[in-house]
Amino acid sequence: MPGVLSRREWAISHGFIFFGLICLSIAIWLLYEQPVSNLLIFGLWFLSGGVCWVTAFLAKRLSEKPLHPGEDST
């Protein structure tokens, strides 16, 4: 089974994701009061982790299927 992303592409894309999440977390922490900001930050990180997991699962699942019935996916 071919990989969906190379290691380099995976590292670069996740670097951008983590940098964006850190920037959003800092902005939320500065704008909202303490208990609300913590919930929003945890929710943001858990949501993006779940979206990442589902996207990786679907990408692997779809890369295994042939493009048209009767064809090989390679």
Mean pLDDT of 10-23: 94
Domain assignment of residue 22, yes or no: yes
Domain assignment of residue 44, yes or no: yes
Q: What is the DSSP string of 18-40?
A: HHHHHHHHHHHHHHS-HHHHHHH
The answer to whether residues 73 and 67 touch, using CB atoms and an 8 Å cutoff, is yes
Residue 4: pLDDT band with limits 50, 70, 90: confident
Domain assignment of residue 39, yes or no: yes
Domain enclosing residue 27, as ranges? 7-64
Domain total for the chain?
1
**Predicted pLDDT at 28:** 96
pTM metric for this prediction: 0.73
Domain assignment of residue 73, yes or no: no
pLDDT in tens, 41-60: 999 999 999 999 999 888 88
